[in-house]
Amino acid sequence: MKEFTVGRNDAGQRLDRFVGKAVPLLPESLLQKYIRIKRIKVNGKGAKRDSRLNAGDVLQLYINDEFFEKPREENSYLKVGTPKINIVYEDENILLADKKPGVLCHSAGVWDYNTLIANIQAYLAQKGEWRPKEENSFAPALCNRIDRNTGGIVIAAKNAESLRILNDKIKDREIEKIYLCAVNGRPKPAQGRLENYLFKDAEKNQVYVKAKSEPGAKTAVTEYRVIKSQGKLSLVECRLLTGRTHQIRVQMAHAGWPLLGDGKYGSERFNKDFGEKGQALYSYKLRFEFPTDAGILNYLRGKEFKVDKVDFAEKYFGVETLEF
C-alpha cells in the first residue's frame, strides 16, 4: 500500500484524474475497478471516481508495486488493460500479428503504450505465457518491423531460442515477405523486375535511386506483377529480393508508378485527389522457406500465412479475398 497526500496545487482534481497521473502505468480499466472495489481510498474511506480532492487529503492505494515504476518501453505492457492484436497465427513459439497502418511497432523516442509490442507483451502476460517477474532477461520481442503507415504481418518470438533462430533466418533471407501496393498508373510490362542502387540519406530519412554503384549505395531488387488495374490505379504484388529501406516505395516511384498516399516519394496532388495520407502498402503474405535447419521451428518450413483483408485492395479494386 502506498499513500499520497494531496498538496495545494493538486486540490480540486477528480480522484481518477489524480491517480491516473500519480500512477501512469495503471490501466484505465483497473483504475476505475480499484476505485469501485475500494482499493483506492480517500482518508481511509471509499470514494467516487469524480470526487474532488482537497488539500491535505490522504489517498491510500492498494496497488501492486510494478504500477508505480517509472514508465519506459520495457514496462509499457502494464498500461495495456485490454490488448488489441489481430492475430494471424500463434503457437507455443511464435505469434504473427497483422499490424494496421498507423500503429507503431515500438515507441518512437517518447513513451507510448499503444505500440504493437506493448500489446503483444500484455496479451502474453495476461494469459500467463510470459511471467515478467520470473524471467531473468527475456521478454517477447518483434523479429521484424514495419513502418508506422505501412500495414502487414509482424513476427513476435515468445522465447529466446525462437528469437535467435528467426533473427538468423531473416538475416539470411529465408523468410519471404510479399507485399501489396496501390500505385498511380498501369505498370508496363505488367510483370517485371526493378533493379538499381539505393542510397539512404540518414539525416533526411530519404532514399535515392542511383543508376550505378557508388559509395554508400546498395543493390535493390524487386519483382512485381499487376493484379488488377482500375481507373488511374493498379493493384500490384511485390516480392523483395533485397531488403532496403523504403525499397518498394522509392523503386516504384522511380519507375513512374508512385504509391497512392505516399507523401515522401509520391504525388501530393494525386494523393489529395483520393484523400489518402498514408502509403498504400501492405506486407500481406509471409512464407517460411527455411532451406536450412531451423531447430525448434522446423515445423514451420514451407508454411505460408496471409492477412484476411487489405483495406485499399477492397476499397479501390473490390478485392475482398486475397487469392491471387
Domain positions in the chain? 2-68, 73-171, 175-317
pLDDT in tens, 261-319: 999 999 999 999 999 989 999 999 999 999 999 999 999 999 999 999 999 999 999 99
Environment class of 274 (CB within 10 Å of its CB; exposed 0-12, middle 13-18, buried 19+)? middle
199 pairs with which residues across the strands?
Answer: 208, 217
pLDDT in tens, 171-222: 999 999 999 999 999 999 999 999 999 999 888 889 999 988 899 999 999 9
What's 175-317's CATH class? alpha beta
pLDDT at position 307 is: 97
Whether residue 136 has pLDDT greater than 80: no
pLDDT in tens, 62-89: 999 999 999 999 999 999 999 999 999 9
pLDDT at position 232 is: 94
Q: Which of 102, 86, 242 is nearest to 154 (CA)?
A: 86
Cell numbers describing residue 256 = 513512374
Q: Binning pLDDT at 50, 70 and 90, where does residue 135 land?
A: confident
Domain 73-171 has CATH 3.40.50.1470: no
Whether residue 58 has pLDDT greater than 90: yes
Whether the Cβ atoms of residue 246 and residue 279 lie closer than 8 Å to each other: no
Whether the Cβ atoms of residue 35 and residue 28 lie closer than 8 Å to each other: no
CATH of the domain spanning 2-68: 3.10.290.10
Topology agreement, domain 2-68 and domain 73-171: no
Percent of the chain with pLDDT over 70: 100
pLDDT in tens, 10-20: 999 999 999 99
